[in-house]
Structure 1
Amino acid sequence: MAEELQRMGASVVVLASSFTGSARAIFENKGIRVEVGEDLEASIFDFDYVWVHSQLLPLSFVEQLGTVSREHVPDGKRLPAFIFNHMSALDASPDEHPYIPLLEETIASAEVFVSQEARDALNKDYDTEANQGIPQRIVPNPAPSIYAQSSKVGTHPRVPQRIAIISNHVPPELFDAAEMLGSADVHVDIIGEQGVVQEVTPALIAQYDGVITIGKTVQYCMMSSTPVFVYDRFGGFGYLNDENFDACAYANFSGRGGARKNGEGIAKDVIDDFQQACSYSDAMHGVWRETYGMEHVLEDLFESVEPRTSITFPYPGYEHTLRMQMRFAWRYYRSWDFELWMRAQKQHLEDELHRVKEVVAERDKAIDSLQAEMQALRGDLGNVREELAKSAEQLQQVYDSHSYRIGNALMAPLSIIKKRRR
């Protein structure tokens, strides 16, 4: 989103509780300004829009909003439009809920949701009366317009030859399907933690005839007219079509609400339904570019959202309460990031330990094999020694025999004559 806004001509600054790993590299490579911490040395009046994830605001903004609440908006100044974004309907993602009481009800210019499912689930968390009149919109995880530049419209093969499974949580049935597709001469790559970890870009999507995935990658495929098979850990719907599209979109293309299938069924559908999926994605490409193209979605949203002319905190002392809640939230996210980092480090060490154990096991196996060969050689050497000893004993018996001594004496004159002739 930051990249698309910059491309559209906006000046963008991102405030984050932490800034590490692959995400940092991506932001820095795209030239996006990122500030780290729980505060931002800036005036709220410097911004036209403040896009809020996880209800996080800079602490200085809380103080400035408190001043506005007490003294109103200064002459000649204009509040920014505060847009609060919610990316999940799941209770397992409490950070996506409006968990700070009355915050959005007090300052939001708009509340946006990744899907109708999220809107339905999260509306119960608001103060109904206080939240009346605040515009709510579905912003369906739109994809940057650059994905449409690699459109496959009209260029699909007759049968799929290359398929990508893009997921960080591939269920067993998809591994089974990948094996069966491979047996049917369909090349399958797994992009994610159980395969190859890499950024999903237009160039990556362009390499494949179809993609098996859920979530944001579905929108990437829709924008590029890549047939997308919606299936993952929650089950799914198969390729997008007229019959399942609304149900898929309702739950943010997560697969929730769909059915579970076995690997054989998935592999069969991936091949058998491919041509129909190509026709559908081509026919819908123009519509999807409008409804799921980030530039169109953001322009429409920003044009319709108006900043508040005033802000009034709901009760005396709310500013202090909000500051404490916000400080706690920032530190929680920073700790959560550290926990995720530690978990990743632990997983990395466990993977390395597993790899070392495999190397040691192979070495031990090789040592055991060499020891067995040496033992066999020792046995063979013992047998040879026994045979040599037996042969030496037999030879000695020949030397010691009466017949050998007589024969040797008889042959001695002949040996002397032979030497003289030489």
Structure 2
Amino acid sequence: MKILLTTHHLKDFAGSELNTYDLALQLRAMGHKLTIATFQYQDPIRSLFEKEKLDVVNLLEKKLSNKKYDLIWAQHFIVLNYVLFVEGVSAPKVVYRSLSNYEPLEYPPSYTKELSLCLAISKENKDFLLKEGFEKSKIVIFPNSVREEFFTNKQKANKEKITSIMIASNHIPTELLKAVNLLRKKRIKVDIYGLGHKFEHITPSLLGKYDVVVSIGRTVQYALAMGKPIFCYDRFGGPGYITNKNFEAAEKYNFSGRGFDRIMDHSEITSEIINNYSKAIKYSKGLKDVCQDKFSLQRNASQIFNRLEKSGSNVDLLAIKKQLTGIHKITEIYASELRRSIERDKYIQKKEQDISEFKVRIKRQEKAIKDQSKIINQLKERIASTIEGRIINLKRKVFN
């Protein structure tokens, strides 16, 4: 199948970007031909897509060369609006995926009932969509899912005592940062990955270096797939180690930490990570099998394709366009304003870089002046010492 994936931006090692990356690799492995449409395409995550030679089109810079696909798999409604109503793309099947209840861009489009399917990332997300009036028969839970390399990656046996911890977060809370200091005082290595810290793609080999992972969201599924103890905690708090007892409740809220109303202080976090580690090891072994059943990307994607194949009916894009007259203009305005915003940010960034470089040059010049002044002062001292020595010698000659 020829498939068009849409996402608002591809910039950072963050949720929606990594969802797109993993899905693209999985669909390609299943034999499909892919194009990815986005409004922003830049490093650091751009390097991952380029390394895999994935076809990515920045819609703010050029148009899609192909207008006909077998399937559009979309996230972020504004990009779907753009490819349908501005670019004029068509496909018999259209799937929309909502990644959360809280980000406006991830809210489903008004014409969702006309689409093939609407994928909810969690039960919480599905319940929200049902309350919003979206058609129940169209909504399918499609959780953060894991590529096979996480399940098959060979790991060393879990250690009896914690020696190293990975924290993966783009929004690490204060109490967790304070806990890091306590853990390090206990001679436990703690590395933080995310915005403002080590910023790199989390892979099975990277996860395999640590005894414990502290994170929320998709990284929880990564750790579960590898049979690694995962401490679920971040800006919304969380349950702590994922166990058989709290798994279902944590899964309902996409392992975000929500749903438990539990904020710990730094000493509680430290104590739980250390004291409950041995129990977490026992739970992690069984949860790996549960994860394989629930979060295999290959399995979950195949189920969606099977469902699409059985549905038979195609999306009537012409009917949708007739219902939504003027939407193309609104979408064009959004894209135009976003383009201006991006250019403005680039301009500001360039000026800030120029100012930073200018400050560096000034510091270098100041250092050069200080060095020259030091040399001049040293020369003055030598000259003064030489003159003084000669005067003393002359006096000696005169008086002798």
Tell me: CA distance 1:342–1:183, structure 2 relative to 1, closer, same or farther (3 Å).
farther
1:232-274 CA-to-partner distances (Å, cap 9, x unmatched) read 1111111101222222112211112241111111111111111
Pick one of 136, 140, 143 that aligns with 1:140: 143
Residue 166 of structure 2 aligns to a residue in which SS? strand
Residue 264 of structure 1 aligns to a residue in which SS? helix
- Aligned residue in 2 for 1:320: 325
1:138-194 CA-to-partner distances (Å, cap 9, x unmatched) read 111112111112254x71000111101111222121111111111111100111222
Pick one of 227, 230, 237 that aligns with 2:229: 227
Cα distance in 1 between the residues matched to 2:339 and 2:289: 41
Cα distance in 2 between the residues matched to 1:144 and 1:259: 31
Pick one of 25, 31, 42 that aligns with 1:9: 31
TM-superposed CA distance for 1:328, in Å, is 3.5
Q: What is the TM-score with the length of structure 2 in the denominator?
A: 0.76
| Preserved CA contact (<8 Å) 1:83 1:112 | yes
- Aligned residue in 1 for 2:171: 169
- Aligned residue in 1 for 2:119: 112
Alignment of 1:93-108 (within 5 A): 93-98=103-108, 100-101=109-110, 103-106=111-114, 108=115
| Preserved CA contact (<8 Å) 1:105 1:134 | no
- Aligned residue in 2 for 1:88: 100
Alignment of 1:331-342 (within 5 A): 331=336, 333-334=338-339
TM-superposed CA distance for 1:105, in Å, is 2.2
- Aligned residue in 2 for 1:255: 257
Residue identity in the other structure for 2:31: G
1:72-126 CA-to-partner distances (Å, cap 9, x unmatched) read xxxxxxx532110111111xx110112x43x2222x100001112222223444x
Q: What is the TM-score with the length of structure 1 in the denominator?
A: 0.72
- Aligned residue in 2 for 1:290: 293
Tell me: CA distance 1:338–1:53, structure 2 relative to 1, closer, same or farther (3 Å).
farther
- Aligned residue in 1 for 2:284: 281
Tell me: CA distance 1:227–1:58, structure 2 relative to 1, closer, same or farther (3 Å).
same
Cα distance in 2 between the residues matched to 1:316 and 1:183: 62
Residue identity in the other structure for 2:124: E
Tell me: CA distance 1:112–1:341, structure 2 relative to 1, closer, same or farther (3 Å).
farther
Residue 221 of structure 2 aligns to a residue in which SS? helix
Cα distance in 2 between the residues matched to 1:248 and 1:186: 27
- Aligned residue in 1 for 2:16: none
Residue identity in the other structure for 2:121: V
- Aligned residue in 1 for 2:64: 40
Cα distance in 2 between the residues matched to 1:166 and 1:202: 13
- Aligned residue in 2 for 1:62: 85
TM-superposed CA distance for 1:337, in Å, is 5.3
Residue 288 of structure 2 aligns to a residue in which SS? helix
Cα distance in 2 between the residues matched to 1:264 and 1:342: 45
Q: Whose Rg is larger?
A: 1
- Aligned residue in 1 for 2:217: 215
Residue identity in the other structure for 1:172: T
- Aligned residue in 2 for 1:269: 272
Tell me: CA distance 1:246–1:333, structure 2 relative to 1, closer, same or farther (3 Å).
farther
1:283-331 CA-to-partner distances (Å, cap 9, x unmatched) read 1212201211111110111111235335276688535323223324444
Residue 40 of structure 1 aligns to a residue in which SS? coil
Tell me: CA distance 1:149–1:190, structure 2 relative to 1, closer, same or farther (3 Å).
same
Residue identity in the other structure for 1:145: E
| Preserved CA contact (<8 Å) 2:223 2:230 | yes
Tell me: CA distance 1:316–1:200, structure 2 relative to 1, closer, same or farther (3 Å).
closer
Residue 303 of structure 1 aligns to a residue in which SS? helix
Cα distance in 2 between the residues matched to 1:347 and 1:157: 47
Cα distance in 2 between the residues matched to 1:261 and 1:96: 30
Q: Where do 5+ consecutive residues of structure 2 fail to align?
A: 1-22, 382-400
- Aligned residue in 1 for 2:386: none
Residue 286 of structure 2 aligns to a residue in which SS? helix
- Aligned residue in 2 for 1:395: none
| Preserved CA contact (<8 Å) 2:26 2:147 | yes
- Aligned residue in 2 for 1:414: none
Cα distance in 2 between the residues matched to 1:58 and 1:311: 15
- Aligned residue in 1 for 2:197: 195
- Aligned residue in 1 for 2:316: 311
- Aligned residue in 2 for 1:299: 302
- Aligned residue in 2 for 1:28: 50
Residue identity in the other structure for 2:74: V
1:31-86 CA-to-partner distances (Å, cap 9, x unmatched) read 11112216423243x32x210111223756438989x9xxxxxxxxxx53211011
Residue identity in the other structure for 1:208: Y
Q: State, as a whole percentage, how many aligned pairs show the same letter.
A: 24
Tell me: CA distance 1:343–1:287, structure 2 relative to 1, closer, same or farther (3 Å).
farther
User: Is 1:121 matched up with 2:144?
Assistant: no
| Preserved CA contact (<8 Å) 2:124 2:253 | yes
Higher relative contact order (CA 8 A, sep 6+): 1
User: Is 1:182 matched up with 2:184?
Assistant: yes
